[in-house]
Amino acid sequence: MPASTTDRRRAAVLGSPIAHSLSPRLHTAAYEALGLTDWTYDRFEVDEAGIAEFFAGLGPEWAGLSLTMPLKRAVIPLLDGITDTAASVEAVNTVVLHADGRRTGDNTDIPGLVAALHEQGVDKVASAAILGAGATASSALAALARICSGEVVAYVRSERRAEEMRGWGERLGVSVRTADWADAADAFEAPLVISTTPKGGTDHLTEKLPARVGTLFDVVYDPWPTPLAAAWQRRDGAVLSGLDLLVHQAVFQFEQFTGETRPVLAAMREAGLRALG
């Protein structure tokens, strides 16, 4: 017998722009893998000006929301509470809508990044480097706080960005040294490099790789591989992509929305790879 309207559960990703989001493919694949036929996952174009109105229209069938830019900080005043993980970077990418009406926020990018590195066998590093200083860089620092025992060098384009990264380091308990973007190739001496720059941001560095490289986590996933990732692989270095981050953080969201702990990582990754061709 088909489920009634009240039995159906909904989730969605919000942001602007949002048409490119792979989240509906990933979550829907997980529902299908576990036979959760009463669940649906959509995408909605919502900006900072519209998020309060969107929240006001949510009914009891809603279980959770995934958030992308520019909503990760704008949503916080609308919530009843956020986790320590989300508070550590002042960014929420996951909203759980509870049966009692509460709305709580979390950040699954941070544990997702750590889980992706664990899957690659990177559990602890003595030092690391970050390319870039945007919102993703603060999440990368929070992840490194869990696995890096030494210094993190952040390569940035301005003194303002440098100050921000040092401030995040102090807040997160990470020893951060900043360096000028002109010296970004020096990052490749680190055992772990996390590139948080947009598409094309590191293309000019591909000819500057040393003969031996460690692990590269490049948060871009389309197109893939990036020129930097391809050059890294030619040096026999380990490479993770933005899809690795996307699927691991999505697993944590899926578990919070549905309460399910059965494995869905493989189904999500396969769906993501299919979507990217």
Catalytic residue IDs: 72
Give the Cα separation of 84 and 77 in Å (integer). Answer: 15
8 Å CB contact between 181 and 155: yes
Q: Please give the DSSP secondary-structure letter assigned to residue 69.
A: T
The 10 Å Cβ neighbour count of residue 217 is: 26
Q: Which amino acid does the sequence have at 22?
A: L
Closest CA to 94 of 253, 247, 242: 253
Q: CA-based angle 261:264:270, to the nearest 5?
A: 170
Q: How far is CA 123 from the centre of its chain?
A: 18
DSSP bridge partners of 50: none
- Coil vs helix vs strand at 13: strand
8 Å CB contact between 26 and 271: yes
Q: What angle in degrees, to the nearest 10, is found between the helix axes of 135-147 and 159-172?
A: 40
